[in-house]
Amino acid sequence: MAPPPARNDDFFDRVFDVVARIPFGRVTTYGHIAAHLGSKRAARTVGWALRAAAGHGLPCHRVVNRYGGLSGHAAFGGPHVMEDLLRSEGVAFVDEAIVDINAHLWIPGEPV
């Protein structure tokens, strides 16, 4: 797949770098990515970056909201695609479209 689109704002590029490092079978949140990049109030901007990266080979499906909810599923071609991708990696769910965040959370900057 093609690399994510280039942006004038390097914040998007830094988001792409973090997302590329999310380990298989783990998830992180928009807020954790924003905080790691020094802008803890920029979770929504992280979401915009991920929308721009959709279809470019980054594991954007591994980014969930702070409750473990699959809030980015619209960028994956349907509501079940994101869930299917996560389940194929062994990610457990506690409810419909809610990841077991306690079992699978990866915080950027921390060892796996």
The residues, any chain, with a CB within 8 Å of residue 64's CB and separated by 6 or more, are 27, 28, 29, 70, 71, 72, 99, 101
| From 15, 35, 50, 60, active-site residue | 60
**Separation in Å, CA 101 to CA 13, 25, 85:** 25, 11, 16
60 in catalytic set: yes
- Which contiguous run of DSSP H or E holds residue 11? helix 10-20
Catalytic residues: 60
